[in-house]
Amino acid sequence: MKYFIILILPFFYLFGFSANNDTLNIPDVKAVNDKISDAIRSGDASKLAECFAPTIQLSVPGKKGDFSRTQAEIIMRDFFSQYPPSSFSINSEGKTSGTNFYTLGAYTSGSVRFKVYYVVQKGDTDITLHILKFEIQ
């Protein structure tokens, strides 16, 4: 019996207590996508910036490039001010490669329609928004 416990204890340790998203409190991709789409739908640049990576590739009319989280938040605040949201809908979602996930959507501001594309990346401890593009249709 003593040997059985010695042999079985490492098994429970390795397989029974393995780390997963719940024990590490890592949000899942769907939750982050919901947060991003809610922020876009409401035109809330601050809430959207909470999801940004430290550096984000951003493209909106008049601005395109790699920006810090703070710069990108200011650009998005200006964008939402100039093009307040009338509606936002998600057309498709999927996995690009490895730990990257994409979303394609449609954003409407008054009579102006935009194609929206963004990519989130799942890291060891978080999921962040790395690419965000708004293109006029």
What are the tens digits of pLDDT across the range 78-137?
999 999 999 999 999 999 888 999 999 999 999 999 999 999 999 888 999 999 999 999
* Residue pLDDT, tens place only, 1-31: 555 445 454 544 444 444 444 434 556 889 9
| pLDDT at residue number 97 | 81
Cα 17 from Cα 23, distance rounded (Å): 9
Residue 38 has pLDDT above 90, yes or no: yes
Type and span of the H or E element at 47 = helix 45-49
| pLDDT at residue number 26 | 52
| pLDDT at residue number 22 | 43
Q: Which two tokens stand for residue 82?
A: 């100039």
Measure CA 34 to chain center. Answer: 8
